């Protein structure tokens, strides 16, 4: 069997460190082109500005379990910019308010204490969450803002550094957590507004950033070295 035929019959997982400025679907497109396999998905999207762990699922056996992979906990390193609030809660949005208020480190620590354990979180309007069959971001682009029901998420939030206007956090969280909402809500608590300016996913389930390959280093010659088939991945609880 020729190498290309072998690749077309392979299934497994490719761990990619997504670069900033690329969509999650772009990674699917690149892998389809390299592998010649149509059935490719992932275990949780990342916004274009975000970087880090993308668990790419190759072949039907793996894509059928995308929901199980996506349900696993994730970890992020997030940079929050205080003093500027945007409509999308992140750096890609339009500025809606600005503030000169500089919170103290003590105030920040007290605010972060509210993002521990079980927390109710309202999804942002600029998100792919569906309400009455419509994606919220589609409504938002038409200037609509609708009521969203809060969802309970599980958080473990650690302050890495605070150098105004930037706050650096590590967040371990459950499925369905919006880091943009954490940034937005933190700004509301502090009274100065805030948005998510940088985001790196450092863990998805058992897969860590150090396990990932840079997208620019992935090609037809080395793809088989990065296509893994861990036995436990087929039996995700």
Taking the C-alpha atoms of residue 114 and residue 129, their distance in angstroms, rounded to an integer, is 24
**Cis previous bond, 102, omega within 30:** no
Residue with token string 């809060």: 150
Angle of CA points 153, 40, 176, to nearest 5°: 5
For residues 154, 114, 177, 171, the Cα torsion angle rounded to the nearest 10 degrees is: -80
Choose the catalytic residue: 47, 87, 90, 107.
47
Read off the tokens for 160: 């890495």
**How far apart are the C-alpha atoms of 111 and 89, rounded to whole Å?**
18
Q: State how far the Cα of 41 lies from the Cα of 25, in Å rounded to an integer.
A: 8
User: Under a CB-based contact definition with an 8 Å cutoff, are residues 183 and 194 in contact?
Assistant: yes
Residue with tokens 């199980």: 68
- Note if 47 is an active site residue: yes
Residues annotated as catalytic (active site), given as ranges: 47
């Amino acid at each position: 069997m020729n190498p290309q035929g072998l690749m077309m019959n392979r299934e497994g997982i490719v761990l990619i460190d997504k670069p900033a400025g690329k969509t999650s679907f772009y990674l699917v497109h690149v892998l389809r082109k390299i592998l010649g396999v149509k059935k490719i998905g992932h275990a949780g999207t990342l916004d274009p500005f975000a970087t880090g762990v993308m668990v790419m699922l190759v072949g039907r056996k793996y894509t059928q379990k995308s929901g199980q992979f996506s349900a696993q906990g994730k970890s992020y390193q997030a940079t929050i910019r205080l003093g500027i609030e945007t409509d999308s809660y992140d750096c890609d949005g339009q500025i809606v308010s600005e503030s000169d208020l500089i919170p103290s480190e003590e105030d920040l620590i007290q605010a972060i204490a509210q993002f521990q354990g079980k927390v109710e979180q309202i999804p942002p309007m600029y998100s792919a969450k569906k309400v009455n069959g419509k994606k919220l971001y589609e409504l938002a682009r038409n200037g609509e803002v609708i009521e969203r029901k809060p969802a309970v998420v599980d958080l473990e939030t650690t302050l890495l550094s605070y150098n105004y206007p930037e706050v650096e956090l590590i967040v371990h969280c459950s499925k369905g957590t919006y880091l943009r909402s954490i940034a937005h809500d933190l700004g509301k608590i502090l009274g100065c507004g805030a948005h998510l300016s940088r985001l790196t996913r450092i863990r998805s389930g058992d897969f860590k950033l150090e396990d990932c390959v840079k997208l620019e280093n992935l090609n037809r010659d080395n793809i088989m070295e990065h296509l893994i088939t861990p036995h436990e991945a087929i039996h995700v609880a």
